[in-house]
Amino acid sequence: MEIRTRFAPSPTGYMHIGNLRTALYEYLIAKSQNGKFILRIEDTDQERFVEGATDAIYNTLKMTGLKHDEGPDIGGEYGPYIQSERMGIYMDYAKELIEKGHAYYCFCSKERLSSLKSNNEKGDAFAKYDRHCLGLSAEEIQQNLDSGMPFVIRQKMPTTGTTTFHDVVYGDITVENEELDDQILIKADGYPTYNFANVIDDHLMKITHVVRGSEYLSSTPKYNLLYDAFGWQAPVYVHLPAVMRDAHNKLSKRHGDKSFEDLISDGYLAEAIINYIALLGWSPSDNTEVFSLAELEKAFTIEGLSKSPSIFDIKKLTWLNGEYIKNMEFDAFYPLAESKLKNAIKNSELDFKKIAILLQKRLETLNDIPRLVDFFDELPQYSTDLYVHKKMKTTKEIALSSLKAALPVLENLSDWNETAIHDALMELVQTLGIKNGQLLWPVRTALSGEPTSPGGAMELADILGKQESIKRIQKGIELLEAEL
């Protein structure tokens, strides 16, 4: 049997982390077993529809590499893949359930349904519909339909016994049928409810595995009863525990937690995000932490899924993102860095590729770039305390002496490139009989005016050019002389 999974988001906003993890696991379940991954847009909740949300879904899947085999944009054998384009299907199946005695028309008004709450003896919200319309005769039903009376179609739940289903993560789960409400299948506007459309579409699209959040565990018995009512085989259920901000709170956009789009804007790589999200609820058979998507496809197993909630640790993601940046081919890294470099540095005559080479091994996110390179445009105001470095064995006096010695050497340098600068300064170190750091640290500090920089003395001088480098070293000498 071919494994078929589906990612079925609603176009109601941004792609949150839990939703993306669901898509990833559905993708991995299919691809790890040579199956198919299907995209289906569930847009039956028209009131919550957000303009542009469908494009966000496509863009996210494209950026993360979760390529679907069937979907609205590429078609497939079981389309349409947008629920609003399948409207003629759901009513026919609902009527089939009515004929089989597993569903019924309900004509109750909103006022009557509201009154059930106010008339509740305990003052609580009513837990179940009271089946007021279940006893209507065929004549009464037809008369109401002929008169155009608004209606919904409800599923007729069993009132005795239990319903049991098996979940890959949580095992066997049993519920008392008397606790189940006669849920609505077709709403008054003619649209199917989420639960009903899911079952119909999953069956017609031959979905074998359904992955969703653990908050849907309570709805699953209703799904299974629908499958039983139609005489269909239910899919394999994979319910995932929540992704948490901390030990007590779920991730929530309302509380400032990041969506996928936010993380990309913050300078994280899509590949690193996917890698990290894969580990939020799944454990590989070894201690490997860094996976490409292709490696995840080979390593992933359902047995590795956990029922324990996972805490989203931005520090861990940041570390992982830094590892991805460090290990990228430079030709892949540079296009990502180039736009941020050009936005941060106004001097277009500088060699941005040389700067990018210095940066790549030092970044945790792409958004670190501006704060690491702003000194290239203009030397910041800085304290001469920066020249003092215990490890480099420098003092302000040593720094002043070193800069004064380096200035004429660099002024007389005919070839200005990193190799020539390196050779000249290292020869000066030998001549002065000092430690490397006692010359190179003061020169680096004078060139950057920063406590740290993405490159050393030679690299910075090469990028800044001879005129600017000489100017900055002279400035360093002036600052030190003024203080000493």
Indicate which residues carry an active-site annotation: 253
CA 484, CA 470: separation in Å to the nearest integer? Answer: 21
CA 156, CA 131: separation in Å to the nearest integer? Answer: 9
Of 221, 192, 237, the residue nearest 29 (C-alpha): 237
What does the H/E/C string look like for the chain?
CCCEEEECCCCCCCCCHHHHHHHHHHHHHHHCCCCEEEECECCCCHHHCCCCHHHHHHHHHHHHCCCCCEECCCECCCCCCEHHHHHHHHHHHHHHHHHHCCEEEECCCHHHHHHHHHCCCCCCCCCCCCCCCCCCCHHHHHHHHHCCCCCEEEECCCCCCEEEEEECCCEEEEEEHHHCCCCEEECCCCCECHHHHHHHHHHHCCCCEEEEEHHHHHHHHHHHHHHHHHCCCCCEEEEECCEECCCCCECCHHHCCCCHHHHHHCCCCHHHHHHHHHCCCECCCCCCCCCCHHHHHHHCCHHHECCCCEECCHHHHHHHHHHHHHHCCHHHHHHHHHHHHHHHCCCCCCCHHHHHHHHHCCCCCHHHHHHHHHHHCCCCCCCHHHHCECCCCECHHHHHHHHHHHHHHHHCCCCCCHHHHHHHHHHHHHHHCCCHHHHHHHHHHHHHCCCCCCCCHHHHHHHHCHHHHHHHHHHHHHHHHHHC
